[in-house]
Structure 1
Amino acid sequence: MRTLLKVTLEVEASNKALLDGTLPKIMQSTKEKLNPEASYFLALDGCRTAIFVFDLKDPSEIPGISEPFFMSLNAKVEFSPVMNAEDLQKGLQSLGVPK
């Protein structure tokens, strides 16, 4: 299932992780693990934030994805199912909504 992963990093923990090299290692290993179709890094609500769009094959993957962020970066982690334009169009057509 196409999934949006939003990771909001606590500032003090991510400052420390940036300085000791943990932050770039976690981001790189996450990108390698998820093979995302898109990834973005931004400041949101005053915090470092990473957004990944990837295929979540099974919910059992969630702990392996989340725990490095929780344990090393004191992060907030959110998973949300998402659609692209084609998925939305297909869903609307199933409701009988014209193109």
Structure 2
Amino acid sequence: MKMLVNVIMPIEPFNSLVRNGKAGEILGRIIEDIKPESIYFTEIEGNRGAVIIVDIKDASTIPAVAEPWFLNFEASCEFKIAMTPDDLMKSDLAKLAAKWYDVHVM
């Protein structure tokens, strides 16, 4: 299942890792290990951040994605399911509407 992972890295310890030349090497190792489909670095909540798309085969693989960020950067990680348009179409929204829509709600 595809997951969108928001990684929020506080200013410290990232600044110290940049100053001592370790940040780039650690980022490279993490990216090589988790093999994201894509990764974009950005600002999130005023901190350094990354938005990552990964394919999670099983829930037990989530720690392998999150722990490198936690342990190296004291980051927080938010995991969100990411659906493609095809995934959404497979959900059969019309059938769900027929099952759950109560005409008395309106």
Q: Which TM-score band (shorter chain)? A: 0.7 to 0.9
- After the TM superposition, which residues 1-99 of structure 1 pair with which residues of structure 2 at under 5 Å, given as runs? 1-92=1-92, 95=95
3-state SS of the aligned residue for 1:50? strand
Q: Secondary structure at the match of 2:91?
A: helix
Letter in 1 for 2:62: I
Structure 1 stretch 19-28 or stretch 73-82: which is displaced more? 19-28
- The percent of aligned pairs where both chains have the same amino acid is 32
Q: Which structure has the larger Rg?
A: 2
Aligned-partner residue type, residue 51 of structure 1:
V
Deviates more, 1:87-96 or 1:25-34: 87-96
Displacement of 1:94: 7.0
Give the root-mean-square deviation of aligned CA atoms.
Answer: 2.1
1:47 deviates by 0.5
The normalised TM-score by structure 2 is: 0.76
Distance (Å, rounded) in 2 between the aligned partners of 1:14 and 1:44? 14
Specify every segment of 5 or more residues in structure 1 that has no aligned partner in the other structure, as ranges: none
Aligned with 1:83: secondary structure? Answer: coil
